[in-house]
Amino acid sequence: MTRHIRLAAVLGASLLTVGGAEAQVGSYLDRLVSGSATITPLRSIDTSVRASKRYAVVIGNGNYQAIPRLDNAVADASVVAEFLRGQDYIVQHRTNLTKRGFEDALRRILFDVDKETEVVIFFAGHGFQIGSENYLVPVDADLDSVYDIPFEAVSLGSLVSIVGARARLQVVILDSCRDNPFAGKAAMTEMGVSLRETKTGFSSLAAPLNSMLIYSTSPGALAFDGEGDNSPFTAALVQEASARPDDEIKDVFEGVRRAVYQATNGQQVPWDSSTLIEPASFGIGAALSRPLAVNSTGTGQTRGLARIAATEEAPLILAASEDVSAVIDADFVPEVSIGAALAEALDLAPETPVTVTAAPDAGRLVLTGDDGVARSVVNRPLLAADLRDLVLINESVQTPALSLDDGILHDRLRLLVNGDDREVALRLSPQACDFHAGDHLDPDGMGLTRYPNELEPEAALAACEAAVAENPDTGRFHYQLGRARLALKDMAGAETAFETARDLGHARAWYALGNIAFEKAKAEGRVIDGKSPEDVLAFHARGTDAGDPYAFYALGRQLMRFGATEAIEVEGYDLVMRALEVGHTFAMNDLAFFYLNENSEYFDGERGLRYLRESAAREDIYGYNSLGIAYLRGQAGLDVDEARAYELFTRAAADGHPTAPFNIGRMYLEGRAPGGANANEAVAWFETGLSRGHARSAAWAADVILVDQPGNYDVFDAPALASKGAVLTGNPFVHEAESILAGMPAGLVDGGAQRLINELADAGLTVDGAFGPSSQTAYEAVLADFGGLEPETDSHARIRQLARLTWLRNPFRVDLY
């Protein structure tokens, strides 16, 4: 019987949320983390001591160009940001965020927040509910169909789950319970094909442990933008919180509810959901010296939604303007003091009035007082003497390392000096290990990223060995060293490095160790049809508990495919969607594969293709390759487009995809590439695929050489190539290379062996298939170079031995598969 699995809100209908209300009855994730069916707390909170860090994300979205503007949303966010800065929160203040901007904001949370941080999130803008899930709407939302929702809107459930996995305490405030563009229609918000009727307004979700969710209106109802400068809800919130910041938030909110009810003549009633287990307040022990100005009259429009055009997202890291007052060189490390250099560069006298008006894009500027609290300096009047304690906190900016042409991260800050606007350029130099081996979406990394195909293993190894020697207690260097060793096929060395990183608290190390455990289990025959044993899942569960998007994806895809119950499958789906919310392209690729499987009950071609397009739009090589296959095959109703397929395969191959070269070679063989059939081009691309460890490329190259006899190759190239594929143990297509090699006569194989000897030693042998004394001498010399191996006498055994040595000399990238 077909089961239709419903996509529930991550914090509502599913069981996944770490520490969430429903998770307390026992989710599969909890069991994996705790190591038994008896649920134990996933974290220990000392309620007698307040969290040591205060962090806020404040978002105001008002510039919805194709619908009535929300004139007050940006102002609402600004006044809330001002209030929170006054209470010494480090505030990430964003306005008019696109979907990519939301992804960036969520990634910043992953990197900025840890389990000693209390977090406040405020959002003013459009939102809607479909089924039991709530969505926040970016300004570039283009909702042609319900298939667009994962890429055009932001799941509130995922947002709160991502924060909950990293923070000690969170308060989420939404001034956005608004009209639904799909109200009264059927919407696809599930794993399967069942439809759920959409609703207007937000539903009320269960909050995860030590959280409070505050909604500007009750479930299913609408909120108002207000006719003054602020919405009724934000005006009431700021007034009440300013008057008594040190009261518990739950008590402050009671006053907010009464004020909004009165201001809207009973048309709007704020709502909340709380699982707080410790007192929470906005304040730091002192009320504001002056109240913040807010102004709200009447109700005004509701904050509705309609289709609008997409806009371009500005790049995060900007090259500094040529018109700058000073240039400061500093290290791109987690914290660097720049105050003294700034004062010197601008030649500031100690009593000079200074106000920082714009922080660097890549980080935040703070002053740490005598009480140990780090306070944001943006828009705070200072004297130049205060700058001695100025620290730049560099955040994970998610910048591709290869995009730094000079190896330097260029940034800038702006400030007023005696009322004059000044711009200071920053030249931030990364640590070499971060530059050469930083990982994508690594919560504990510096954010200079390289996908596996972009690593230069030898350079990364040298840089990270030096970094570990100098900083043995820094987990990220050990993790990045593990990446370098893995790229060099040193599995044991990689595992040791990852274990050290894990022991030093590096979250991503759990994911890496889980992958190594999976490979071991596969070698032991414990992986059946791709299903991970529970001991492997436990590694990825620990990474999930630590808030790592790669672990979200790895665990989620396993639970989604192999969960023993519907509830476990939903947990998996929710986890994969959580990874997607922060822009993890692996999750997009996996969901595409899931929905494009025509033999699956969940086949949904349009949906699957949307995931592939979004992955390719983010320049993911696997997205390129898979979308190319879809165009080549005319998959899921696409018109066959060979030119587009070739373009996508070429992009993927250029950036290191292991199997895209095979796809290009096959197109040349079948006459579907530009210029028609070309056996020489086909074999050349198959050679490239083989160099990346693709055994099928070896078999096809050998076959084309023997059958089509392309002019750039001779017959002895066939056994040389086939033997390299035949020794790729564990490769799913190795049998094809083994079969074609086994069918070759001894003389042909001996010529291939001569070819490999020349490749290994530049012996200058004549390749003729006559394996005489000179060939034997050269062969034994090669074996001596590899430690004096015993020579083989059988032609097939000999060429296989030589093929294995070629891989030892030139290993392919196992981390690409």
Q: Amino acid identity, residue 653?
A: A
Q: Is the Cα torsion angle 270, 275, 279, 285 positive or negative in sign?
A: negative
8 Å CB contact between 716 and 745: no
Which CATH class, in words, describes the domain spanning 433-506? mainly alpha
Evaluate whether 664 touches 653 at the Cβ level (below 8 Å).
Answer: yes
Please state, for a pLDDT cut of 90, what percent of the chain lies above it. 48
Nearest 5°: phi and psi at 214? Answer: -120, 125
First to last CA, the chain: 35
Whole-number Å distance between alpha carbons of 619 and 613: 10
| Residue 710 identity (one-letter amino acid) | P
Mean pLDDT: which of 7-11, 425-429, 502-506 is highest? Answer: 502-506
Q: How far apart are CA 502 and CA 509, in angstroms?
A: 5
Q: What is the mean pLDDT of the chain?
A: 83
pLDDT in tens, 302-332: 433 322 222 333 333 333 445 688 899 999 9
What mean pLDDT do residues 779-796 have?
95
- Does residue 684 or residue 10 have the better pLDDT? 684
β-pairing, 169-175 with 154-155? Answer: unpaired
Torsion of CA 789, 795, 797, 800, to 10 degrees: 90
Asked whether 653 and 688 are in contact (CB, 8 A), the reply is yes
Mean pLDDT of 245-261: 93
Long-range pairs, 465-471, Cβ under 8 A, ≥24:
466/432, 466/433, 467/431, 467/432, 467/433, 468/433, 468/497
Q: Which of 155-159, 454-458, 809-813 is modeled with the greatest confidence?
A: 454-458
- Residue 814 is given by DSSP the state G
Cβ–Cβ under 8 Å, residues 738 and 719 = no
Residues found in the chain: 817
* Domain 43-274: which CATH number of 1.10.3720.10, 3.40.50.1460, 3.60.15.10, 3.40.50.1860: 3.40.50.1460
Note the pLDDT of residue 735.
94
For 701, phi then psi, to 5°, come to: -60, -45
Domain residue extents for the chain: 43-274, 326-430, 433-506
Phi/psi for 89 (5° steps) reads: -80, 140
State residue 6's pLDDT score. 22
Q: How far apart are CA 613 and CA 634, in angstroms?
A: 15
Please state, in angstroms and rounded to a whole number, the distance separating the CA atoms of residues 581 and 584: 7
pLDDT bin (cut points 50, 70, 90) of residue 109 is confident
Identity of residue 19: G
Q: Is residue 181 within 8 Å of 305, Cβ to Cβ?
A: yes
Of 26-40, 204-218, 337-351, 645-659, the least confident: 26-40
In CATH terms, is domain 326-430 a member of 3.40.50?
no
**Is residue 470 very low, low, confident or very high in pLDDT (cuts 50, 70, 90)?**
very high
pLDDT at res. 431: 94
